[in-house]
Chains A and B, each alone.
Chain A
Amino acid sequence: MAPPPVQDTVTKITESAAVLGIKERASQIHGNNEVIALYCTEWSDDFDPSVSTKANRHSCWIKTVTIMSCNCNDKVDKMSTTFPIAVGKKGTSHEAVEMLFADDLKILRSGNCSMYCKSTGSVVPIFPRTIGVPTGPARTPW
């Protein structure tokens, strides 16, 4: 299979080989049928809530996932598509939530999922894939 064409100069994530590959694969599987190709990036790190009633207690750990449509332009506010997935105490084991997240991700990637699309007003199959890996010590176990 020929790899998707990649532009010489990549200035947006939607022009990257990874995202173009997701779009290409989605169109190969679903043909001319409507499909929502999504790319997800996950991130996790520790933080300290310094300006809240929870300040000066314990540091926290957070995991977030940014879910973007492959057709979206980069001007979409990333904060509006970034979801908090899990919050816990820093230093404790996060394995249980990481494993659950991995299971949820497996279901999502199974190809049997669809979602209501507001723009078309219908239920459309989705084709989600994760790109990139989290940096730092809070690396996921798979």
Chain B
Amino acid sequence: MIQESITESQYNIISYGNSVSCNFFDYDKKCFGGGSTYLISRAITETPVLVSHVIHPQEICYHMMIGNFVNNLTRSQRNDFAQIISHTAELASIPKCDSPKFLQPSLPTSALFIDGVYMRGKFALLPNVPHPTVRVIDNHGYVSILDCVATMDSPQLLWRPHLYKILLLR
């Protein structure tokens, strides 16, 4: 309190300049993290009133991370992301049972999992998706159209970035 009174009396506090910033920092001053709670509450309930008691702190953190992440995505990537989250929720809700018919659902909850299961390694998903072979012809990376037609029914979106990468490296 002493520190606060000194600051307020001796220094001019820089104006936030707009109501959006003012509101955020007003709530943040009242309680630590209150700004984020205010933002999430406002966005979800579509009301300007803070209803922090209905939102769990972990959910606040979760939505802030998502907000930060989707900010850099295109519209189509945002659609894909929403679908992934939806599938994740469905998978997570499958009750665990002892039936040997299905493996227990595995969710990508770590960077290590994403790297090992999807990206790299002998058993990873992406390197094993059907894809055309890249050859080097006269200093060009080249893919036969015959290979492209043959693998048309494979999930191409998965291998295309890898193919471009290989072609560019050639």
Q: Give A residues with C-beta under 8 Å from B.
A: 38, 40, 49, 52, 54, 60, 65, 67, 80-81, 83-89, 92-97, 100-101, 104-105, 107-108, 113, 115-118, 126, 128
B149 close to chain A: CB less than 8 A: yes
Q: Taking A49-B168, A84-B163 as contacts, is the C-beta distance between A97 and B152 under 8 angstroms?
A: no
In chain B, positions 31-56 with a C-beta closer than 8 Å to chain A are: none
* Residue pair B140, A88 in contact (C-beta under 8 Å): yes
* Residue pair B145, A65 in contact (C-beta under 8 Å): yes
* Residue pair B145, A116 in contact (C-beta under 8 Å): no
Nearest 4 interchain pairs by C-beta: A96-B138, A88-B140, A87-B167, A83-B148
Q: How many residues of B contact A (CB 8 A)?
A: 24
Residue from B138, B153, B157 within 8 A of A117 (CB atoms): B153
B106 close to chain A: CB less than 8 A: no
B141 close to chain A: CB less than 8 A: yes
Give every chain B residue within 8 A of A87 (Cβ-Cβ): 140-141, 164, 167-168, 170
15 more A-B residue pairs beyond the given contacts A67-B152, A83-B156, with a C-beta to C-beta distance below 8 A: A65-B145, A67-B148, A83-B143, A83-B145, A84-B143, A84-B164, A85-B142, A85-B143, A94-B140, A96-B137, A100-B137, A100-B142, A108-B146, A126-B149, A128-B149
| Cα distance A115–B164 in the bound complex, in angstroms | 24
Give every chain A residue within 8 A of B132 (Cβ-Cβ): 83
Give the shortest distance, in Å, between B152 (CB) and chain A (any CB): 6
Q: Give B residues with C-beta under 8 Å from A.
A: 132, 137-146, 148-150, 152-153, 156-157, 160, 163-164, 167-168, 170
* Residue pair A115, B168 in contact (C-beta under 8 Å): no
Give every chain B residue within 8 A of A93 (Cβ-Cβ): 138
Give every chain A residue within 8 A of B163 (Cβ-Cβ): 84
| Cα distance A84–B132 in the bound complex, in angstroms | 10
| Cα distance A65–B144 in the bound complex, in angstroms | 10
Q: Taking A60-B168, A80-B156 as contacts, is the C-beta distance between A104 and B138 under 8 angstroms?
A: no
* Residue pair A84, B160 in contact (C-beta under 8 Å): yes
* Residue pair B141, A81 in contact (C-beta under 8 Å): no
| Cα distance A113–B144 in the bound complex, in angstroms | 14
Q: Which residue of A lies closest to B132 (CB)?
A: A83
Q: Which residue of B lies closest to A92 (CB)?
A: B139
Give the shortest distance, in Å, between B6 (CB) and chain A (any CB): 48
* Residue pair A116, B153 in contact (C-beta under 8 Å): yes
| Cα distance A92–B132 in the bound complex, in angstroms | 24
* Residue pair A85, B145 in contact (C-beta under 8 Å): yes
Give every chain A residue within 8 A of B170 (Cβ-Cβ): 87
* Residue pair A104, B140 in contact (C-beta under 8 Å): no
| Cα distance A5–B20 in the bound complex, in angstroms | 61
Q: Taking A65-B148, A85-B143, A107-B146 as contacts, is the C-beta distance between A97 and B160 under 8 angstroms?
A: no
